Chains A and B, each alone.
Chain A
Amino acid sequence: MAIATTNDLIAAMTGAQTSNPTVPQRFGIVKTQAFTTIAGGYESMWLATGTPTAATGGPGAWATQTSATVGGLVFTAPAGSHTLYLSRLASSWISVGNVILYDRLGAMSGLSGTSVAAQNINSGALPSGRCDTTGIGVDWFVEVYTTLGVTPRTLTFSYTDDTGATGLSTAVTIPASMPQGRLLPILPGAGKKGIKSIETGTLSGTTGTVGDFGVTAGRKMYLQFTPYVGGGDARGPMELGLPAINSNTCFWFVGVSNAAAANGNLLADLTLIEG
Chain B
Amino acid sequence: MAGINSMEALLALYTVEDRVDWLKTPTVALDNVTGTLLSTWAVPGVPDAAAIPGAAATCSSSTPGALPFRAITAGKKRYITTGQGTGRRPGVNFPNSPDTFLYYDRLVEAGGLSCTVTTAQTVNTPTLPARLNSSTGVDVEAFLENYQTVTTPATVTATIVYTDSTNSSRTTTVSFTPPAGAATTKTFVLPIPAAAGAVGWKSIQTVQLSGAAAATAGNFGVTLAYRILMTPSTVNSRLPNAQYGPMDGCLAPIHDDACVWIVVIEASAQSGGQPPYGGLLGVVVES
Q: Kindly state whether residue B34 has any CB partner on chain A within 8 Å.
A: yes
- Find chain A residues with CB under 8 A from B253 CB: 14-15, 23-24
User: Contact size class for B?
Assistant: 35 or more
Contact with B along A52-89 (1 / 0, CB 8 A): 11101000000000000010001000000000000111
Q: Are B139 and A50 in contact (CB under 8 A)?
A: no
Q: Kindly state whether residue B233 has any CB partner on chain A within 8 Å.
A: yes
- Find chain A residues with CB under 8 A from B145 CB: none
Min Cβ gap B224→A in Å is 12
- Find chain B residues with CB under 8 A from A49 CB: 193
Q: Kindly state whether residue A198 has any CB partner on chain B within 8 Å.
A: no
Contact with B along A169-188 (1 / 0, CB 8 A): 00000000000000000000
Q: Are A237 and B249 in contact (CB under 8 A)?
A: yes
Q: Kindly state whether residue B115 has any CB partner on chain A within 8 Å.
A: no
In Å, the complex CA distance between A13 and B283 comes to 14
Closest to A229 in B: B267
Closest to A265 in B: B35
Q: Are B191 and A231 in contact (CB under 8 A)?
A: no
- Find chain B residues with CB under 8 A from A271 CB: 249
When A23-B253, A54-B193 are in contact, do A16 and B236 touch as well, CB less than 8 Å?
Answer: no
Q: Are B99 and A30 in contact (CB under 8 A)?
A: no
Q: Kindly state whether residue B268 has any CB partner on chain A within 8 Å.
A: yes
Stretch from A3-11, A141-149, A159-167, A210-218 that touches the partner = A3-11
Interface centre among A53, A264, A268 (most CB of B within 10 A): A53
When A90-B231, A92-B230, A269-B230 are in contact, do A231 and B267 touch as well, CB less than 8 Å?
Answer: yes
When A10-B9, A30-B141, A49-B193 are in contact, do A233 and B3 touch as well, CB less than 8 Å?
Answer: no
- Find chain A residues with CB under 8 A from B266 CB: 230
Closest to B2 in A: A16
- Find chain B residues with CB under 8 A from A152 CB: none
Q: Are A11 and B6 in contact (CB under 8 A)?
A: yes
Q: Are B231 and A234 in contact (CB under 8 A)?
A: yes
In Å, the complex CA distance between A27 and B235 comes to 25
Q: Kindly state whether residue B5 has any CB partner on chain A within 8 Å.
A: yes
Q: Are A28 and B34 in contact (CB under 8 A)?
A: no
In Å, the complex CA distance between A226 and B235 comes to 10
Q: Are B191 and A51 in contact (CB under 8 A)?
A: yes
Closest to A50 in B: B193
Q: Kindly state whether residue A232 has any CB partner on chain B within 8 Å.
A: yes
- Find chain B residues with CB under 8 A from A228 CB: 99, 236, 267
- Find chain B residues with CB under 8 A from A30 CB: 141, 191, 193
Q: Kindly state whether residue A32 has any CB partner on chain B within 8 Å.
A: yes
- Find chain B residues with CB under 8 A from A52 CB: 194, 199
In the complex, how many residue pairs between chain A and chain B have their CB atoms under 8 Å apart?
A: 176
Min Cβ gap B42→A in Å is 21
- Find chain B residues with CB under 8 A from A53 CB: 193-199
In Å, the complex CA distance between A235 and B230 comes to 11
How many A residues face the partner with a CB closer than 8 A? Answer: 58
In Å, the complex CA distance between A214 and B191 comes to 30
Q: Are B5 and A94 in contact (CB under 8 A)?
A: no
Q: Are B10 and A10 in contact (CB under 8 A)?
A: yes
Q: Are B3 and A16 in contact (CB under 8 A)?
A: yes
- Find chain B residues with CB under 8 A from A87 CB: 249
Stretch from B19-27, B51-59, B240-248 that touches the partner = B240-248
Q: Are B230 and A27 in contact (CB under 8 A)?
A: no
- Find chain B residues with CB under 8 A from A237 CB: 247, 249
Q: Kindly state whether residue A227 has any CB partner on chain B within 8 Å.
A: yes
Q: Kindly state whether residue A190 has any CB partner on chain B within 8 Å.
A: no
Closest to A232 in B: B232
When A14-B5, A231-B232 are in contact, do A51 and B99 touch as well, CB less than 8 Å?
Answer: no
Min Cβ gap A58→B in Å is 14
Q: Kindly state whether residue B7 has any CB partner on chain A within 8 Å.
A: yes
Q: Are B191 and A227 in contact (CB under 8 A)?
A: no
- Find chain A residues with CB under 8 A from B231 CB: 90, 234
When A90-B232, A265-B37 are in contact, do A70 and B197 touch as well, CB less than 8 Å?
Answer: yes
Q: Are A26 and B248 in contact (CB under 8 A)?
A: no
Partner of A230 from the list B96, B193, B226 (CB cut-off 8 Å) is: B96
Q: Are A94 and B34 in contact (CB under 8 A)?
A: yes
Q: Are A229 and B268 in contact (CB under 8 A)?
A: yes
Closest to A53 in B: B194
Interface centre among B7, B35, B236, B247 (most CB of A within 10 A): B35
15 pairs from A and B in contact (CB 8 Å cutoff): A6-B7, A14-B5, A15-B3, A28-B230, A50-B191, A53-B194, A56-B196, A88-B248, A226-B232, A229-B34, A235-B249, A265-B36, A265-B265, A267-B100, A267-B265
- Having A21-B3, A226-B232, one finds 10 other A-B pairs with CB under 8 Å, namely A7-B7, A10-B4, A14-B3, A32-B191, A74-B138, A92-B99, A230-B96, A231-B267, A234-B232, A238-B247
Chain A residues within 8 Å of B, Cβ to Cβ: 6-7, 10-11, 13-18, 21, 23-28, 30, 32, 49-54, 56, 70, 74, 87-94, 225-240, 264-265, 267-269, 271
Chain B residues within 8 Å of A, Cβ to Cβ: 2-10, 33-37, 79, 96-100, 102, 133, 138-139, 141, 191, 193-199, 226-227, 229-236, 240, 244, 246-253, 265-268
